[in-house]
Amino acid sequence: MNAPAELQVIKQHLIDPEICIRCNTCEATCPVGAITHDSRNYVVDAEKCNLCMACVPPCPTGSIDNWRAMPLIRAYSVDEQLTWDVLPAELPPEQLALASEGNATEAVATLAQSPVEPTSVGEAAFNANQYGATLPPWSAAHAYTNLYGPKAAQKTIEATVVGNVRVTAVGRDYDTHHIVLDFGSLPFPVLEGQSVGIIAPGLDAQGKPHHARQYSIASARNGERPGYNNISLTVKRVLEDHQGKPVRGVASNYLCDMQVGDKVQVIGPFGASFLMPNHPRSNIVMICTGTGSAPMRAMTEWRRRLRQSGKFEGGKLMLFFGARTQADLPYFGPLQSLPKDFIDINLAYSRETDQPKKYVQDLMRERAIDLAPLLADSNTYFYVCGLKAMEEGVVLALKDIAEQQGLNWDSLGASLKQTGRLHLETY
């Protein structure tokens, strides 16, 4: 005789707090709102999670891919998970057997092989993330990941600050810095589109070491300075959260205040899908806001170096870059020096004095006649990086452009995901 439903064994989805870099990818991806977080941990609500697996492929560290067989009545609560520093051990088999009167193995196997389909969000809702690819372009180079971190042989790698330059206008609170880190003789191979974790020194409000904060790499694969074992980051000093409440970002302020010669602890690299294509004549369309420009700078710089070498015939490069004002736009000066026949630059300002508000999706619609053939071209890859709020508007713009030009968005959108042509990295 089977046990009551509340004693049945479930396959509980958990996030490893030792590996998680708090990038928010899982929460942004979950279609049923089962993932939440506080200032310390990201956790999964067992009452909401339906094992759809949507959050697993985009996770850059693998921290999301953890499971525990648990009696339903003993499932770990959200409040419990928020206190964890490490994952709990598996329950002994005899406890599971008692919970389900011998049916534990069958229950867990059934759950593992037959995940429930995601709950419908209604016909009126538009889920932009469903079009985001979790596979890299077929021609992308092999990415090395998790070489340094909590579960690696070496927990961190020490880098030396060899450059720290402000890249937004002087006189504003929200300055953005271009920071160059050198790894000396220690290996740290990276590709454009990958990220690293920075560990700030000291303790948090609970008296525990700070968790790593994630930053996208802003330099090309052969170094910020070609031939050197270094990388660059684009870091904005955080003085308020996304709701406008005052907060001093631990890692961002730490990095922005660093001096040349200072040492910093790094983990990673992370990411194996937000990678650029390597095959000749491939086109790249980059859409970003603020420090979301970091991977776009990396891709642009690698293409620029290939062009200078004369060994690569690159396709079209388009950039749609948004900021509140020109003064808030990182790298404005260097952008102006790039050859017009190399990259097609479109800048959008949403708070510029005496100018109408414009967002990146507005500029995309203005360039619909140029974007439509790129959408239809299987050699074109789209990259979106910036605040989560931009994601829906950008993907809706692509959908509208496709449909206005007679393209079937249902099949095209599915193809963009399946072939690694549309990559979304928002936070």
Distances (CA, A) of 167 to 233, 246, 326, 327: 11, 23, 12, 9
Cβ neighbours of residue 320 closer than 8 Å, sequence gap 6 or more: 285, 286, 287, 288, 346, 348, 360, 363, 364
Residue 175 CA to residue 202 CA, distance in Å, equals 23
Percentage of the chain modeled with pLDDT above 70: 89
More confident residue, 114 or 310: 310
Torsion of CA 303, 305, 306, 311, to 10 degrees: 160
Tens digits of per-residue pLDDT, 18-54?
888 888 888 888 888 999 998 789 999 999 999 888 8
Residue 258: what residue type? Answer: M
Is the pLDDT assigned to residue 310 strictly greater than 90? no
Residue 283 CA to residue 383 CA, distance in Å, equals 11
Using an 8 Å Cβ cutoff, are 70 and 10 in contact? Answer: yes
Domains present along the chain, CATH in parentheses: 5-113 (3.30.70.20), 128-140+273-426 (3.40.50.80), 157-270 (2.40.30.10)
Average pLDDT, the chain: 88
> How confident is residue 338, by pLDDT bands cut at 50, 70 and 90?
very high
User: 178: closest CA among 249, 241, 255, 269?
Assistant: 255
Q: Residue 114 has what pLDDT?
A: 39
Q: Residue 98 has what pLDDT?
A: 58
Give catalytic residue positions: 215-216, 385, 425, 427
Residue 141 CA to residue 260 CA, distance in Å, equals 32
Lowest-confidence segment of 171-175, 205-209, 369-373 by average pLDDT: 171-175
Q: Cα(first)–Cα(last) distance of the chain, in Å? A: 48
Torsion of CA 11, 117, 57, 22, to 10 degrees: -70
**For residue 69, how many other CB atoms are within 10 A of its CB?**
21
Taking residues 315-339, what's their average pLDDT? 93
Is the pLDDT assigned to residue 161 strictly greater than 80? yes
Using an 8 Å Cβ cutoff, are 55 and 141 in contact? Answer: no
Is the pLDDT assigned to residue 101 strictly greater than 90? no
Using an 8 Å Cβ cutoff, are 233 and 156 in contact? Answer: no
Instruction: Return the structure tokens found at 175.
Output: 């300055």
> How confident is residue 73, by pLDDT bands cut at 50, 70 and 90?
confident
Tens digits of per-residue pLDDT, 75-98?
899 999 998 988 988 878 766 665
Q: Residue 117 has what pLDDT?
A: 41
Q: b/e map of 18-48 (b: 16 or more CB within 10 Å)?
A: ebbbbbebbbbbbbbebbbbeebbbbbbbee
Question: The tokens 């496709």 sit on which residue?
Answer: 402
**For residue 328, how many other CB atoms are within 10 A of its CB?**
22
Is the pLDDT assigned to residue 268 strictly greater than 60? yes
Give 197's strand partners: 214, 267
Q: In a 10 Å sphere around its CB, with 0-12 CB exposed, 13-18 middle and 19+ buried, how is residue 245 labelled?
A: exposed
Residue 125 CA to residue 67 CA, distance in Å, equals 30
Distance of CA 247 to the CA centre of its chain: 22
